[in-house]
Chains A and B, each alone.
Chain A
Amino acid sequence: MWVCLSPWTAGAHTQSSAYLMIQTTPAGVTGQWDLALRDLEDAVGLDANDDGVITWAELRARQAAVFAYAQARLHIQGDGRPGTLVMDDLRVDNHSDGAYAVLTFAVPDIGHPTRLGLDYRAFFDIDPRHRGLLRLEQGGQTRVGVFSPETASQQFDLSAAGNAAIPNPFLTFVREGVWHIWSGYDHMMFLLALLLPGVLKRTGRGWEPVAANRPALVNILKIVTAFTAAHSITLSLAALGIVHLPVRLVEASIAATVVLAALNNVTPFFAERGWMVAFGFGLLHGFGFANALADLGLHTGQMAATLLGFNIGVELGQLAIVAVFLPLALSVRHLMFYQRFVLRFGSVAIMLVASTWLAERVFDFKWLPF
């Protein structure tokens, strides 16, 4: 009887993979294909003296067989015309699961195709779990794909229209940033609580409208800039893994900043300088943005690259809110309605909502639908 005893499920999971990189340049179509020596050993045989060790001499001795195997298992078509893989060079590289043979090649007879067909069949016959991981580069655009026995044949549109369909990662993160500000009500309410009194000034008799537009504009510019600078700092620190705060603490603190900012409009207890409040509290909001970015499941290394896009998106989203709010507020700042009703009741409403968030986040329950 064959008994497989201990269930080795806490296992090792690096299965057979190969890396195929194809570039289309003005010089034509070229490629690099990294094939694991362990796979080539089983498919074409490399270990000539069968001592369990593959040396450079053994690999070189089988260079022709490796090239022939590659040519038989990868078929490239340009605009429907079959191309010839002209093998160029054999090198070696180490990936995380072992040594790979690195083959470079050109496909000179298909010119500059607008439609590229790739038919990938390496190792599938001996190992259906093998995957070919494709990276296709053209004029700064990169596409990825995975070849499996079920997806061995794939077509790629290299025309201008095809390229336009590739999402630009930077722009996507800019969009995410904008969306986060618009749909993250806590950030929006915090901003509004700071902006509402921006067109007014506090006097002994309460709030009065600023006489000219310019000081109001300068004031709001200062507030927005301070908020931006502050949350950019902490967003970067957190996203790069330099500082870490517990999610619930951050979320609760953000709710508290909204309560305090709104309360300040009703009962002043901070100084007149809204930009300082915006800066201090903005530091906390940055940690919140970082958590949102972390929610996308990106690791630290990739975060650094996408941080800028996300941050720019947050700023654009914020500027859009200011652009809508400012002309409105400036035009109605003389009205008693604005000074008494909008400022006061708006701030109270923000306080109520934010207090509920605070309670929800401290005591871990959910009551508000947003």
Chain B
Amino acid sequence: MNPFAASKFLLRGLAMWAVLGGLAASASPFLPADDSQVLERLRAKPFDPATHELHELRARLAVAPTNPVVACQFARQCIELSRSEANPRYLGRAQGALAPWWDAPMPPVEVLLLRATIKQSQHDFTNALTDLAAVLKRDPANAQAWLTKATVLTVIGDYAGARLACRPLGQLTTGLVALTATVSVTALDGQAATSADLLNRALQGDPQAGAADRLWALTVLGEIATRRGQPAAAEHYFKSALALGLHDPYLLGAYADLLLDRGRNAEVVALLGNESTADALLLRLTLAEAALVPPPASYPAHVASLQARFEAGHLRGDFVHQREEARFTLELLHEPAAALRLAQANWQVQREPADVQVLLAAAGAADDAAAAQPALAFMHQHHLEDVQLERLASQITLAREP
């Protein structure tokens, strides 16, 4: 029985009050000492063709805000930047460019596709799938729509649907891209070994593949090897992917997870030392710092920064960061009960291995075996092969034996 249920809402409001109070209190505006003081770095490189193009598109958009071609070009560029720079502010800009069609029932196909991509990134998976279905009804040969649909269905754990969405890709895109998409699903659905084998061979047999395609395939191979308990192979794939020289935050996160699991914390700090924009990467960096003895000087500031970001998210009414917040609450704040609530809420939205992991870990730490059941059932249903998850699951099932 929870005697607090009724007043929880009010208390949440009060918590928010306290947080905003804290935000204001921590703020200490200053007058910079001299004119040349750098206040903000907008991008990694001083002169970046992508942001330059964005400037031009913004100017064109200002003149013709309802031109769907310009709006889509601008939005697409923003989405690309949101990924490569791990800066979600660009997603809001993309939505802004699509504002004339945001609530339209039947916008142009290209707008629909971009709208679905933005909704997916806001974890509005239901509406993303609706938009994708509308795209595919009008343009069944739209490879990007099939890819995005497969991704969304994988994230929510609908592997059967995701496999179906991958099927047309063989005809619509390169063999490597189609196979990478398919293997991302099948490897989670009980066929890890054969999937990895197939993809590895396809990669070897396609030396002409573009860097982005190779990076994606290598990342997927690295993740499968990590889950199968083959850290040396996983590291080989991740390092080959990094050697391609593209900045991919998703790859950095996957490699950092492998290093964290192996206790190679100093290497995580070296890998992610400059990656403090993306919450997910800052979280991994801070986890590694916490494990170092003594923690580096930046550690307390990083914890405070993560906390401030999650709290700002609460104030905004955003719920997209629950996976990271659950891990943060569990591993850095050491509050299993609160972490479990976040992991459970997150489980209602996403079902990736990382979501299984945080739910199992939080349930184990909170000593609540019942809370772990949905994740255990999911693992069992899909024969999910993942040594880390199996380790967590066995700890929970062992604890249940009287």
**A residues in contact (CB < 8 Å) with B:** 1-17, 19, 21, 32, 34, 37-39, 41-42, 47, 50-57, 59-60, 91-93, 95-99, 102, 125-131, 133, 135, 142, 144, 146, 167, 169, 172, 175-176, 179-180, 183-184, 241, 244, 246-249, 291-292, 294-302, 305-306, 363-364, 370
Are A54's CB and B92's CB within 8 A? no
Does B28 touch A at the CB level, under 8 Å? yes
Across the interface, B37 reaches (CB within 8 A) one of A15, A56, A244, namely A56
| Total residues of chain B contacting the partner, CB 8 A | 124
Could you give, for residues 306-318 of chain B, a 1 whenever the CB lies within 8 Å of some chain A CB and a 0 otherwise?
1111001101111
Instruction: Give A69 to B303 CA distance when docked, in angstroms.
Output: 34
Are B39's CB and A59's CB within 8 A? yes
Q: Quote the shortest CB–CB distance from B31 to chain A (angstroms).
A: 6
Could you give, for residues 365-382 of chain B, a 1 whenever the CB lies within 8 Å of some chain A CB and a 0 otherwise?
011111000000000000
Across the interface, B147 reaches (CB within 8 A) one of A4, A8, A51, A60, namely A4
Instruction: Give A297 to B314 CA distance when docked, in angstroms.
Output: 12
Q: Quote the shortest CB–CB distance from B139 to chain A (angstroms).
A: 12
Does B251 touch A at the CB level, under 8 Å? yes
Main secondary structure of the interface of B (DSSP, over half): helix
Which of B14, B99, B334 has most chain A Cβ within 10 Å? B14
Instruction: Give A306 to B17 CA distance when docked, in angstroms.
Output: 12
Does B191 touch A at the CB level, under 8 Å? no
> Given A53-B46, A128-B102, A146-B316: A3 and B27 within 8 A (CB)?
no
Are B35's CB and A55's CB within 8 A? yes
Could you give, for residues 329-342 of chain B, a 1 whenever the CB lies within 8 Å of some chain A CB and a 0 otherwise?
10001111110010
Does B262 touch A at the CB level, under 8 Å? no
Binding-face segment, B5-13, B226-234, B266-274, B289-297:
B5-13
Are A10's CB and B27's CB within 8 A? no
Does B205 touch A at the CB level, under 8 Å? no
With A6-B219, A128-B102, A299-B307 given, name 14 new contacts (CB 8 A). Answer: A4-B83, A13-B318, A21-B24, A52-B41, A95-B312, A125-B96, A127-B96, A144-B16, A172-B10, A183-B1, A244-B334, A247-B336, A294-B335, A295-B337
Across the interface, A172 reaches (CB within 8 A) one of B11, B83, B213, B304, namely B11
Q: List 28 A-B contacts (CB under 8 A).
A: A3-B144, A5-B212, A7-B250, A9-B352, A10-B250, A10-B280, A12-B280, A14-B279, A15-B316, A38-B89, A42-B58, A52-B41, A53-B38, A53-B42, A53-B46, A54-B38, A54-B39, A55-B35, A56-B37, A93-B29, A129-B122, A131-B315, A247-B366, A291-B337, A302-B18, A306-B18, A363-B402, A370-B1
**B residues in contact (CB < 8 Å) with A:** 1-4, 7-8, 10-24, 27-32, 34-43, 45-48, 51-52, 55, 58, 76, 79-80, 83, 86-89, 91-93, 95-96, 99, 102, 117, 120-123, 143-144, 147-148, 151, 154-155, 173, 177, 180, 212-213, 215-216, 219, 248-251, 253, 277-281, 304-309, 312-313, 315-318, 320-321, 323-324, 329, 333-338, 341, 350, 352, 354, 366-370, 400, 402
